[in-house]
Amino acid sequence: MSETDHQLRVLIVDDEPPARRKLERWLAEDPEIEVAGSCANGYEALDALAAGRVDVMFLDVQMPELTGFDVLDRRPEGADPLVVFATAYDRYAIDAFRHHAADYLLKPYDRDRFEQTLAHVKARRQREAPDDRLAALLDAVRPQRPPLERFAVRHADRVELVHVDEVDWIEAEGNYVMLHAGGRRHVIRETLTAVSARLDGRRFPRVHRSAVVNLDRVARLLPASHGDYTVVLRDGTELPMSRTYRERLREVLEIGF
């Protein structure tokens, strides 16, 4: 096995050249790290994720055209690196940890903070350390932002309010989402990541990169291939559930399957 097989392949994604250069310099000094690429925008990041193995991604949040969350929404199937969000905006912390971020670097960070993050990422990658602090952080901040109760759906001549209880499931449509509610469909001009972050995750878990379901509408789970499942709603709608989200649903349901 070659030396690079033992190294962590790290992708840097940031629209600010000084931020990329700093990470490139610090990461290059670590013999356990291989810099897999340095991307100036979300589209370059998606290309890099599709091109080869990425173990860890240092990801800016606020970028033109595609945000860091959009990159995660659109990442290729099978591309599931540990993510360290690096941003100047602390308001994104809740959403970051809902994405099971390995860490959150608030700019401007110093070398000591970077080294702490890198050590944590290595430990987590090797499964040597539990990551209970993520759940603890969410529990601490969740009361500051109550879950969404209704959607405001804009039409040409009106704004229609759709209560979350009416929603059966939510589907990603590029930078929009489609609410499926009682046979009706409503378009919301937000990404699925943004909508999911505002919902109660125990009532509306994400079952796929492109789907969130109302658990009250789920009738059964059917085994599919390679450890995946099919989620069957009470109206007969069938949605794929990838392995990435299966463990989270197990925690929500508090049962094994």
Q: What is the pLDDT of residues 160-193, one digit of tens each?
A: 999 999 999 999 887 789 999 999 999 988 878 7
Distance of CA 59 to the CA centre of its chain: 11
167/101: higher pLDDT: 167
**143 pLDDT above the threshold of 50:** no
Q: Is the pTM of this model over 0.85?
A: no
- 18-32 residue pLDDT tens: 999 999 999 999 999
The pLDDT mean for the chain works out to 82
Nearest one of 85, 116, 115, 117 to 101, comparing CA atoms:
85
Nearest one of 205, 207, 204 to 224, comparing CA atoms:
207
Q: Are 206 and 212 in contact (CB under 8 A)?
A: yes
| Angle in degrees, 0-180, between the axes of helices 111-125 and 17-28, rounded to the nearest 10 | 60
CA distances from 72 to 10, 51, 125, 193, 210 (A): 15, 16, 19, 8, 11
Predicted pLDDT of residue 251: 75
Burial (CB count <10 Å: 0-12, 13-18, 19+), residue 157: exposed
2/45: higher pLDDT: 45
> Average pLDDT, stretch 205-212?
88
> Average pLDDT, stretch 137-163?
74
**201 pLDDT above the threshold of 90:** no
Length of the chain: 257
Task: List CB contacts of 90: < 8 A, sequence separation 6 or more.
Answer: 106
Predicted pLDDT of residue 136: 46
> Average pLDDT, stretch 131-147?
49
Nearest one of 120, 41, 44 to 82, comparing CA atoms:
120
- 84-100 residue pLDDT tens: 988 876 665 555 555 56
Q: Which long-range contacts (CB under 8 A, 24 or more apart) does 144-149 make?
A: 145/94, 145/198, 147/198, 147/199, 147/200, 147/203, 148/195, 148/198, 148/199
**128 pLDDT above the threshold of 80:** no
> Average pLDDT, stretch 198-210?
87
Q: Which residue has the tokens 């050249």?
A: 17
